[in-house]
Amino acid sequence: MSFILPVAFVIIGLFFRVIPHPANFSPIFAIALFGGTYLADRRLALIIPLLALFISDLFMGFYSPVVMISVYAGLILTGILGLWLRNHKSVLNLLGTSIISGILFYLISNLGVWVNPVSGYSKDLAGLIQCYVLALPFLKNTLASNLVYSAVLFGGYELTLLALKRRPVQA
């Protein structure tokens, strides 16, 4: 894919993170999954979503380093799921990786929140459980956004490919 698509992904990721939106409802993870699946350069596929997240963090402000590391790790894992998906493309696998990436992000990012020394959660099993329970509304939004934006990105791309194949060649 040309240089235009990665730049568009950074702009889209940035735009949808800085405009008002429900918490954890953005296309950033769908972009990571799509990039891992379709961008030819595997390194670029992992870097593009990180770049979009980092640039948007410049605008929105940085937060706890422990939490940031966990958020970025969740995004990298989603890109890796996309790398797996590139050789296993199906609607069922897309649905599965969209859900798995949301759950992985929920588990990793909220572990980061709990580990954060200023989180306010007790550093025992009860505090960890409390952290995960209070984050369930964010999980719902993450899963919904992953499914919606993955359907838009992957569906739009595949429909475009199909339309281009059916288009008659003009001499």
Work out the pLDDT band at 162, boundaries 50, 70, 90.
Answer: confident
Domains, the chain, in order of start with CATH, read: 4-155 (1.10.1760)
Nearest residue to 53 via CA among 114, 111, 12: 12
Structure tokens belonging to residue 125: 């099993």
Residue with tokens 């899963």: 143
Q: Using one digit for the tens of pLDDT, what is the confidence trace for 32-57?
A: 999 999 988 899 889 988 988 898 88
Percentage of the chain exceeding pLDDT 90: 58
Q: Using one digit for the tens of pLDDT, what is the confidence trace for 106-132?
A: 999 999 999 999 999 999 999 999 999
Q: Could you tell me the pTM of the whole model?
A: 0.85
